[in-house]
Structure 1
Amino acid sequence: MLAARKIALAGAIALGLACATADARRPKATIANPLLPSGADPWIVRQGDTYYYMNTLGNRLAIRKTRDLARLAEAPETTVWTPPATGPNAQSIWAPELHRIGGAWYIYYTAAEAGHDDDAHRGIFVLENTGDDPTEGAWVDRGRLKTENNGIDGTTFAQGGKRYFVYSPYIGPDSDLAIVAMSDPWTLTGPETIIALPDRAWERQGGRQILEGPEFLAGPNGDLFLSYSASACWSDDYAIGLLSAPRGSDPLDPKAWTKTPQPVIAKAPDQGVFAPGHNGFFTSPDGRETWIVYHANPGPDMKCTAKRAPRIQRVDWSPGGTPVFARPTKADVPPPGSGRQHHR
């Protein structure tokens, strides 16, 4: 039903240009949000001309793959891993991220111990697949990352020849953002550093002080950016914020990071967008455009349910190399940035 609404247009946007020969004979489709009727904590990564998509399912990890995000709803969902019946990663399988690192695929995901679905029993785990296609082949369990605290929403990025891991640890009543170096994709090394606290009023909505869902974005001038989600997911004021660090700075130094005073993507009630959050970044097939994916509710007071659905929009850049995020638009309307010429 969702795919039927994506009516063919004469000019396809950048994200749909990479089609196989057989696909090229099909009518062109344009992106319309939401991409799927449901999909909390969405993640998109591109490898060559193929996009891989994941979201929280709770009881397993599954991947969709497509060469045209306008047809994501048509892509079959391939389950690649199911949790064990017992153990530290047996339930609450959340926030999967698929990364290509050194010729292998890795999935970072949050899980909870069997019989203990609470903050004190949540951690981040890693799976590895050495094949070319993450929907095929065997996934090897690399275990739980040895973080200093229990937490959720792990991500990884490389900068200056070094790899880092960022996640949301539980520190007392708060959820903060912490960073630590990595010696390989499943091994942390050295002490953790807290780089952000929920110290703004807009980060304390819904009765909890929460920063979570950190995601890395490289700026065109070499600056570092980390987006994050703030406030409780059950609040309509759940929103996306941004940290920045100048080119050449040490990501492990908390003094290097500066927080934007207000969210960069927030609710837009007149557009039917509430509680936008838990985002990720990906690029167009030519590598020239940056896009953001995030989930949002279509109405107020819908909280943290399956009604959260994935949305995308293009990220522009200011002359100074800072990301510029458009305000979310209504469902079934081409997202901000689609069909426009790339510029920096």
Structure 2
Amino acid sequence: MPKVGTLNNPIVEQRADPWVYKHTDGFYYFTASVPEYDRIEVRRSATIQGLGEAEPVVAWRKYEEGPMSANIWAPEIHYMDGKWYIYYAAARADAIFDHRMYVIENESKNPLEGHWIEKGQVKTDWESFSLDATSFEHKGQRYYVWAQRDPKIVGNSNLYIAKMVNPLTIEGPQIMITKPEYDWETIGFLVNEGAAVLKRNGKIFISYSASATDYNYCMGLLSADENSNLLDPASWEKSETPVFQTNEETSQYGPGHNSFTVSEDGSQDILIYHARNYREIEGDPLWDPNRHTRAQVFTWNEDGTPNFGVPAEDAK
């Protein structure tokens, strides 16, 4: 297949926290937060642009009460050990901002078919606000990276990493690799969340998002040598400035909560993210539905770090 030409943004309207995974069958699988925060959808397409026209299939719906009954956020679809998994965060109807992390599993060849089975909560060291889990493999070891509030320190969420014994279970210790500390990470809320992993040029990169979900939302970047101990906080170097942020010239506001994929022929790296095309929001940004899924090719700097550029303007 040819290289990606100009990707016409937005790719999928009203889908925040987008996750795109290109499988060995050649399809791109897509899931994201829906505006109602009440279900998990999956769709697929042979092209990134085609995801906007692909028919979504509901994999799971929230409960009316109890655990997993409110604010279903940021699902991610992964294929591990011959099965499909979706990590997601969910709160309770009586505590809508007290999230925990959960997993559903599907043994079908095509995750748009078959039955998704609830596999329960992914337990961490604390029963506290936690969300935005992702997973990656390195040198035969699978890792889990997520955002969580430490009850002992000020802030909304920090990023943690731990080893996994299987796709459903972590083993200690859980290690904090970044917390909100720079001015651009602490606007509105003290937030580090939405991690995504990129392996290239002898490095492990973890992008993440920071600050409130309005126009201040932006992306930071962690990096570690691929031969370092990933469970040692000292292995991770953190960008002092945002690596992707609001751009007035292209009318893109609050870009973030990204994932990574590649072009149809595998030759180009693609950044998937959400952003709005207006700055001012009435009310709480969380209830504004217009964080659209967007995509663009990114390049690499001479020092081996990713160069995301600026968020591309909407297609005319």
- Please confirm whether the aligned pair reaches a TM-score higher than 0.5, indicating the same fold: yes
Matched, 1:298 2:281: no
**Structure 1: how far apart are the matches of 2:80 and 2:202?**
20
> How many angstroms does 1:114 deviate by?
3.2
Matches within 5 A, 1:220-235: 221-234=201-214
Matches within 5 A, 1:126-137: 126-137=103-114
RMSD of equivalent CA atoms? 1.6
Q: Which of 188, 200, 213 lines up with 2:194 in the alignment?
A: 213
Q: Which of 122, 140, 158 lines up with 1:176 in the alignment?
A: 158
**Structure 1: how far apart are the matches of 2:178 and 2:186?**
13
**Structure 2: how far apart are the matches of 1:113 and 1:140?**
20
Matched, 1:123 2:100: yes
Q: Which of 271, 287, 303 lines up with 1:320 in the alignment?
A: 303
Where does residue 74 of structure 2 map in the other structure? Answer: 95
* Structure 2 residues without counterparts, runs of 5 or longer: none
Matched, 1:239 2:218: yes
Q: Could you report, residue by residue, the CA deviation over 1:4-31 in whole angstroms, capped at 9, with x for unpaired residues?
A: xxxxxxxx96248xxxxxxxxxxxxx52
What is the aligned-residue identity percentage?
A: 36
Alignment TM-score, normalising by the size of structure 1: 0.85
Matches within 5 A, 1:9-88: 14-15=3-4, 31-47=7-23, 48-57=25-34, 58-88=37-67
Q: Sort the Cα spacing of 1:156 and 1:275 in 2 relative to 1 into closer, same or farther, 3 A.
A: same
Q: Sort the Cα spacing of 1:316 and 1:247 in 2 relative to 1 into closer, same or farther, 3 A.
A: same
**Structure 2: how far apart are the matches of 1:299 and 1:59?**
25
**Structure 2: how far apart are the matches of 1:180 and 1:70?**
34
Q: What secondary structure sits across from 2:249 in the alignment?
A: helix
The one-letter code sitting in structure 1 at the alignment partner of 2:80 is: I
The one-letter code sitting in structure 2 at the alignment partner of 1:130 is: E
**Structure 2: how far apart are the matches of 1:198 and 1:253?**
18
User: Contact between 1:51 and 1:68, CA under 8 Å: does it hold in 2?
Assistant: yes
Matches within 5 A, 1:146-165: 146-149=123-126, 150=128, 151-165=130-144
* Structure 1 residues without counterparts, runs of 5 or longer: 1-11, 17-29, 334-344
Structure of higher CA gyration radius = 1
- Count of equivalent residues: 304
Matched, 1:204 2:186: yes
User: Contact between 1:267 and 1:273, CA under 8 Å: does it hold in 2?
Assistant: yes
Task: Write 1 or 2 for the structure with the bigger share of strand.
Answer: 2
> How many angstroms does 1:319 deviate by?
3.4
Q: What secondary structure sits across from 1:255 in the alignment?
A: helix
**Structure 1: how far apart are the matches of 2:270 and 2:39?**
26
Matched, 1:265 2:244: yes
> How many angstroms does 1:260 deviate by?
0.9
List, as ranges, runs of 4+ consecutive aligned residues in structure 1 with deviation greater than 4 Å: none
Q: Which moved more, 1:320-329 or 1:108-117?
A: 320-329
Q: Could you report, residue by residue, the CA deviation over 1:125-177 in whole angstroms, capped at 9, with x for unpaired residues?
A: 01111111111011111100001232111111111110111111112441111
Q: Could you report, residue by residue, the CA deviation over 1:44-89 in whole angstroms, capped at 9, with x for unpaired residues?
A: 1111321111110210101111112222221111111112333321
Alignment TM-score, normalising by the size of structure 2: 0.92
Q: Could you report, residue by residue, the CA deviation over 1:264-306 in whole angstroms, capped at 9, with x for unpaired residues?
A: 1010011110011100011223333221111001111233321
